[in-house]
C-alpha cells in the first residue's frame, strides 16, 4: 500500500491540533480499513455516528505516544493479540466498564480490567493437499519426521507464528518447545517466508504437502476474493483443524481498546458494543471469514465447512508471557534459514 493511499484512507482533518467533533469516533487501526469498512458503514447508517479510520501499517504505539494527551484516537484496533497487549503495557489504553461487552465476550477473550476486547477470531490451522490421506493432525505432529521436507510456513517471527510457538511453550515448557520447533524447521520444504496464502499456492505447485496458516485466508481464496488464481490455490487444499494433545485449537484474535486520551470515550464504547452485536459479528464473518467471538453468531458457511473449532484450554492471557522466549527461540534456531 502506497503512502498516498494510506493518507487517502485516513481522515484528512484528523490532527492533534483540532479536537474531534461530537458524534464521531476516530479509529487508529493496523488492519486494512477495507476489511472492516462494511461494518463501520452499517454502524454509521444505524446510529448516524461518523467513523473515521487511519490505517497504520507500522508504528501505532509510536504514533499514539508522540501525540500524547492531544491524540484524536478514540479506538486502537489491532490484528494480533500481542500487539493489543503491547498497547496496554505502554499505557495507551483506558479501562471500559460495559455490561454489554462483558456479557457478549467470553472471559478468556477480554481483559478483566476492561483494557482490551476481542472482536473476531483467527484459528491457526493446517492446509493439506486435497488428495493427501489425512483428516486430522495435532500441533505436536507437525514436527514428526514423516513431514520432512513437506511443510510450508511463513517467517517464524511473524506474530501469528510467535503466538503459536508461545502457546506450545505454555503447554509443554521451553525445552520441549525448542525440540519441537527444531523438528518443524527440519520439515520445511522451502525457506520460512511469504504469507499464509503462499502455503496454499506452494501446495498447489507441489512444493509442499501441508502448510500452517490462518483459517480466514482459506475463505478469501475459495470465495474468489483474491482472483481466479487464488481460487485454484483454495481448491488445491483441504483444511485440518489441529489441536494440542492436551488442549484445543490455537485461536488468535483481532481486538480493540479505548485510547487513554480518547476525546470521544462514550462514542468509542458504544462502537465497541456494536462490534460484538449479532449484526456486526455476522458482518465480520461475511466480510472477513473470521470466527465470531460471541456464542450466538454463526461463522461464514465456508468457514463452518472446515469443522468445529474448539479454542484452546489455555487462554491467550496465559500464552502472552511466553512470546519473548518464543521469538528468541526462533532466532536461536535460525528458523527462517532453509537447510535442505
Contacts of 255 (CB under 8 A, 6+ apart): 77, 78, 81, 84, 116, 117, 118, 119
Q: Quick one: angle between helices 323-332 and 159-172, nearest 10? A: 100
> Rounded to whole angstroms, how far apart are CA atoms 44 and 11?
15
The SS3 call for residue 235 is helix
Specify the pairing of strand 251-259 against strand 93-94: antiparallel
Which candidate, 1, 5, 82, 74, places its Cα nearest to that of 40?
74
> Rounded to whole angstroms, how far apart are CA atoms 133 and 211?
15
Residues annotated in a binding site for Fe cation: 216-217
Q: Report the b/e string of 257-285 with b at 16+ CB within 10 A.
A: bbbbbbbbbebbbbbbbbbbbeebbbbbb
What does the DSSP assignment read for 104-166?
HS-GGGB-TTSS-EEEEEEEEEEEEETT-S-S--BSGGGG-GGGTT-EE---TTSHHHHHHHH
Q: Measuring CA to CA, how many Å separate 195 from each of 95, 138, 153, 283, 320?
A: 34, 22, 8, 25, 23
Contacts of 262 (CB under 8 A, 6+ apart): 73, 74, 75, 94, 268
> Rounded to whole angstroms, how far apart are CA atoms 176 and 138?
15
Residues annotated in a binding site: 216-217
Amino acid at each position: 500500500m502506497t503512502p498516498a493511499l494510506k493518507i487517502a484512507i485516513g481522515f484528512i482533518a484528523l490532527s492533534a491540533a483540532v479536537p474531534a467533533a461530537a458524534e464521531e469516533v476516530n479509529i487508529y487501526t493496523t488492519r486494512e480499513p477495507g476489511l472492516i469498512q462494511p461494518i463501520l458503514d452499517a454502524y454509521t447508517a444505524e446510529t448516524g455516528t461518523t467513523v473515521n479510520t487511519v490505517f497504520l501499517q507500522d508504528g501505532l504505539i509510536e504514533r499514539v505516544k508522540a501525540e500524547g494527551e492531544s491524540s484524536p484516537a478514540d479506538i486502537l484496533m489491532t490484528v494480533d493479540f500481542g500487539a493489543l497487549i503491547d498497547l496496554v503495557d505502554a499505557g495507551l489504553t483506558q479501562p471500559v466498564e460495559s455490561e454489554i461487552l462483558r456479557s457478549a465476550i467470553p472471559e478468556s477473550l477480554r481483559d478483566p480490567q476492561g483494557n482490551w476486547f476481542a472482536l473476531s477470531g483467527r484459528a491457526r490451522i493446517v492446509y493439506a493437499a486435497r488428495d493427501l490421506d489425512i483428516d486430522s493432525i495435532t500441533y505436536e505432529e507437525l514436527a514428526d519426521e514423516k513431514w520432512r521436507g513437506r511443510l510450508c510456513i511463513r517467517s517464524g517471527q511473524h506474530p501469528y507464528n510467535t503466538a503459536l510457538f508461545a502457546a506450545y511453550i505454555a503447554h509443554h515448557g521451553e525445552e520441549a518447545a525448542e525440540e519441537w520447533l527444531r523438528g518443524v524447521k527440519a520439515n520445511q520444504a522451502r525457506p520460512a517466508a511469504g504469507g499464509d496464502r503462499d502455503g496454499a499456492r506452494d501446495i498447489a505447485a507441489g512444493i509442499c504437502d501441508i502448510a500452517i496458516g490462518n483459517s480466514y485466508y482459506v475463505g478469501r481464496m475459495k470465495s474468489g476474493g483474491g482472483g481466479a488464481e487464488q481460487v485454484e490455490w483454495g481448491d488445491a487444499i483441504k483444511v485440518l483443524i489441529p489441536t494440542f494433545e492436551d488442549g484445543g485449537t490455537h485461536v488468535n484474535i483481532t481486538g480493540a481498546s479505548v485510547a487513554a486520551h480518547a476525546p470521544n470515550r462514550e462514542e468509542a464504547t458504544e462502537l465497541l458494543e456494536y462490534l460484538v452485536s449479532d449484526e456486526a459479528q455476522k458482518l465480520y464473518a461475511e466480510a472477513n471469514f473470521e470466527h465470531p467471538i460471541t456464542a450466538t453468531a454463526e461463522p461464514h458457511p465456508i468457514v463452518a465447512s472446515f469443522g468445529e473449532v474448539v479454542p484452546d484450554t489455555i487462554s491467550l492471557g496465559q500464552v502472552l508471557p511466553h512470546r519473548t522466549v518464543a521469538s528468541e527461540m526462533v532466532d536461536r534456531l535460525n528458523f527462517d534459514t532453509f537447510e535442505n
